[in-house]
């Protein structure tokens, strides 16, 4: 540790700075009361363009992205670049979908996507499925933020156990006190640090290594046998479907929705959906750190491939700047972890606790339950990472993407049409979930020796001979993409059957003009602020 004292001191000081900001955030734009989910969980729905831009960026671009995308390029080559087109694709999708979700949620006082599904489909069962799906998919995502912090701690030769516990205890404390205002304020520091580190890295590290041509030559040499610096016929379909499927999944995650619903107007969201592609440019630069690590002959710590970037920084930067870089990664974990915990807590409070246990809970009670639940979520994430092999948590995150995609018909398609029957939505969800989990179960991971749930690339050869339709015999596809297509197909078929049988459908409690309402629009009668729809017919 003696060789890393400067790094530890600087990283600790920056961590204490943002922690102080997290506690002070309770006073920032302080409302008359924080005992309301609109205030604690959505920051008063009042964030403007700049705050929203940093909040959404801090929400979607996590510490795991910072360490895992370069690590994927380090190990697999060009396939790791899927994250770049996926984040380019996602913003037009968000523009088309989440602007409408913001409007209907603003008009009706919805806090979660499950609130919307309950009102739109008239099915409390489908709303429960969306809530449970969101919580289950988010939990390993929170745990993965700790993987980023753990990688930094290992690079500084600090025992990660107590450091992780202390970091998340502080995170839990200021999130409990300040709610969404804390990560919104800290996101300014987080994004500024990450931009600073990456700009320095893409100039300083290539200079130290002899230029970009040396970096790409080293990557070409490493991947010469597999031609890994270019896609090939075996991984092209996986690349395309993973990029598109991941884009569809990203805006369905509860924390993505939370960041959007905290905005004060449709115009803020529209402007922000044209601005975050700047983060995609940044992500492309972050990915290249993987090739820099190859040229620098970086060796991971033990078998933990996630330490590639921290070790690269430790080798190439002066100690003082390595400390800044490590702080950027760690703070980059705290912001999204806080938002994810808040989003999961809001789902539990609004769509499980209030729906099934306390239908007439007051706003203050809701806020208290969400605060306590957010603490439980963070404790669960810490235990998850300390007690389970981190690589297994990464596998579970892949499962999380497949799982959250199964809410697409109810949430995203539901924002445009009410045609899908409530029974069709439930049947589609069940079918897509079953197929997705079965496909994931069939995928081994030779590197980790896991016989099942070892990745998200499903070999088409398990179903048929790919060469019979002109594909490579080893061609694969993203499980989530296949599963959600099956989900939609089943939902359509069951809907047709239900329509033909004249099966009773749920009551749509929204109106067409709800989906284009802007700030200042009057809430729908009986649904303002803290009000949920009256109990709808259940499936």
The 10s digit of each residue's pLDDT in 324-374 is 999 998 888 888 889 999 999 999 999 999 999 999 889 999 999 999 999
Query: Which tokens sit at 405?
Result: 């995609």
pLDDT at res. 381: 79
The proportion of the chain whose per-residue pLDDT surpasses 90, expressed as a percent, equals 43
Go through the domains of the chain in sequence order and give each one's CATH number.
42-393 (1.20.1730.10)
pLDDT at res. 310: 93
From the list 99, 286, 305, the residue with the least C-alpha distance to 200 is: 286
Query: Which tokens sit at 343?
Result: 């989003």
Q: Residue 309: pLDDT band by 50, 70, 90 thresholds?
A: very high
pLDDT, tens only, 203-241: 999 999 999 999 999 998 888 776 667 888 888 898 999
pLDDT at res. 524: 47
Q: Quick one: average pLDDT of 128-152? A: 88
pLDDT at res. 334: 85
Q: Quick one: average pLDDT of 476-491? A: 96
Q: Quick one: average pLDDT of 421-439? A: 96
Say yes or no to pLDDT of 1 above 70.
no
Query: Which tokens sit at 444?
Result: 């081994």
Say yes or no to pLDDT of 7 above 70.
yes
CA distance 375 to 175: 9
Mean pLDDT of all residues belonging to the chain: 86
pLDDT at res. 389: 64
CA distance 286 to 280: 10
pLDDT at res. 437: 92
* Number of C-beta neighbours around residue 177 at 10 A: 17
CA distance 5 to 319: 8
Q: Residue 447: pLDDT band by 50, 70, 90 thresholds?
A: low
CA distance 337 to 339: 6
pLDDT, tens only, 91-130: 787 778 889 999 999 999 999 999 999 999 999 999 999 9
pLDDT at res. 94: 77
pLDDT at res. 390: 59
pLDDT at res. 525: 43
The distance from CA 478 to its chain's CA centroid, rounded to whole angstroms, is 17
pLDDT at res. 227: 63
């Amino acid at each position: 540790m003696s060789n890393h004292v400067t790094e530890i001191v600087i990283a600790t000081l920056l961590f204490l700075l943002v922690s102080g900001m997290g506690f002070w955030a309770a006073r920032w734009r302080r409302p008359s009361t924080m005992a309301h989910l609109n205030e604690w969980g959505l920051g008063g729905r009042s964030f403007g363009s700049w705050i929203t831009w940093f909040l959404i960026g801090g929400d979607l671009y996590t510490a795991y992205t910072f360490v895992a995308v370069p690590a994927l390029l380090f190990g697999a080559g060009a396939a790791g670049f899927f994250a770049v087109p996926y984040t380019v694709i996602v913003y037009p999708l968000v523009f088309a979908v989440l602007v409408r979700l913001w409007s209907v949620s603003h008009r009706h006082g919805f806090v979660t996507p499950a609130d919307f599904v309950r009102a739109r489909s008239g099915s409390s069962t489908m709303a429960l499925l969306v809530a449970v799906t969101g919580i289950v998919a988010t939990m390993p995502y929170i745990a993965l933020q700790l993987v980023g912090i753990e990688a930094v701690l290992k690079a500084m030769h600090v025992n990660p156990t107590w450091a992780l516990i202390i970091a998340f205890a502080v995170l839990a404390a200021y999130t409990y006190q300040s709610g969404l205002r804390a990560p919104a304020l800290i996101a300014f520091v987080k994004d500024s640090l990450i931009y600073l580190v990456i700009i320095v890295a893409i100039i300083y590290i290539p200079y130290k290594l002899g230029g970009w041509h040396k970096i790409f030559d080293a990557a070409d040499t490493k991947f010469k046998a597999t031609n890994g610096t270019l896609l090939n016929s075996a991984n092209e379909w996986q690349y395309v479907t993973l990029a598109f499927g991941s884009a569809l999944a990203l805006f369905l995650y509860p924390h993505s929705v939370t960041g959007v619903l905290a905005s004060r107007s449709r115009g803020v969201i529209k402007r922000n959906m044209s601005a975050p592609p700047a983060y995609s440019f940044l992500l492309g630069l972050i990915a290249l750190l993987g090739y820099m690590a190859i040229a620098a002959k970086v060796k991971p710590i033990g078998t933990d491939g996630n330490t590639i970037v921290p070790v690269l920084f430790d080798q190439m930067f002066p100690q003082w700047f390595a400390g800044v870089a490590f702080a950027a990664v760690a703070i980059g974990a705290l912001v999204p972890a806080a938002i994810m915990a808040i989003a999961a807590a809001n789902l539990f409070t609004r769509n499980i606790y209030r729906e099934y246990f306390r239908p007439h809970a007051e706003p203050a009670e809701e806020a208290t339950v969400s605060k306590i639940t957010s603490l439980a979520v963070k404790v669960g994430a810490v235990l998850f990472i300390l007690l389970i092999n981190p690589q297994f948590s990464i596998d579970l995150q892949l499962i999380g993407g497949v799982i959250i995609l199964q809410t697409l018909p109810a949430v995203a398609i539901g924002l445009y049409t009410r045609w899908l029957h409530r029974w069709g939505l439930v049947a589609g969800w069940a079918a897509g979930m079953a197929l997705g989990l079965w496909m994931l179960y069939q995928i081994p991971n030779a590197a980790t020796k896991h016989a099942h749930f070892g990745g998200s690339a499903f070999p088409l050869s398990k179903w048929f001979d790919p060469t019979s339709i002109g594909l490579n015999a080893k061609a694969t596809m993203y499980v989530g993409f296949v599963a959600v297509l099956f989900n939609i197909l089943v939902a359509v078929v069951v809907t047709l059957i239900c329509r033909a049988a004249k099966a009773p459908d749920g009551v749509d409690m929204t109106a067409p003009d709800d989906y284009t309402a802007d700030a200042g629009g009057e809430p729908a009668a009986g649904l303002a602020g803290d009000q949920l729809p009256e109990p709808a017919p259940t499936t």
